[in-house]
Amino acid sequence: MRAVDGVSLRIAAGETVAVVGESGCGKSSLAKAVLGVQPAAEGAIVLGGEPVRKELAARTAVERERAQIVFQDPYSALDPRLTVHELVAEPLRIRRAYTRAAVTRLLADVGLDEGQAERLPGQLSGGQRQRVGIARALALRPRLLVLDEPVSALDVSIQAQVLELLDGLQREHGLGYLFISHDLGVVRSIADRVVVMQHGRVVEEAPTARIFRDPQHPFTRQLLAAVPRLDGPRRGAHPLAVS
């Protein structure tokens, strides 16, 4: 079985492309191929206008920096033995670019202050942990962030805060987002375009508003019909936000 078969997509700077579909459709395999963790058997990957090697181990340091990931589960993604400062500093130290001021700036960018820098992950909330994961991912100034279900493990009110943060960071840094999700409500609020996958193939791709207004493929209509409520604001408004 081909986990990902003939998939081709383009993500522009400042654009969020969401990939949706049922479990096992190839969403995570696609993300792993982009990152080189699960090398693609065929095809090419181009990041920042430059081709990169398919295997992560074969990529140069510069190639690795171009794409970073924010994991689904903030509770298992961070080393529990390291402080927040050490976690964010780690990629900078590896690239010999560490300064305390750089870590402080990264933490400030994601809404964390100096008082939280010396805490361990176990002393943080889920939303704070995810902010640390985002700061780590941004440390090497990537062009693309792969966001693998980045808010699915968080409470609804915290989801809204993290989505607002991601939106602001994208606007500030011109990041491209590959947003993997099963939550169509979240997808509608954050994505510019939606790619629908089934059995490893893309069955439909369109701007977000068109996908929700006029889905063309039977599987897309099936996905939308399975969601209890899809009304509410579109990208940028974050229907999950609470006052």
Residue 196: in which H helix or E strand, if any? strand 193-198
Q: Which fold has domain 1-66+143-243?
A: Rossmann fold (3.40.50)
C-alpha span between 138 and 18 (Å, rounded): 19
Mean pLDDT of the chain: 90
Q: Are 11 and 17 in contact (CB under 8 A)?
A: yes
Residue range 104-119, pLDDT digits in tens: 999 999 999 988 999 9
Q: Quick one: pLDDT band at residue 243, thresholds 50, 70, 90?
A: very low
pLDDT attached to residue 169: 96
Burial class (CB in 10 A: 0-12, 13-18, 19+), 104: middle
Q: Quick one: pLDDT band at residue 41, thresholds 50, 70, 90?
A: confident
C-alpha span between 199 and 193 (Å, rounded): 20
C-alpha span between 104 and 100 (Å, rounded): 6
Q: Quick one: pLDDT band at residue 40, thresholds 50, 70, 90?
A: confident
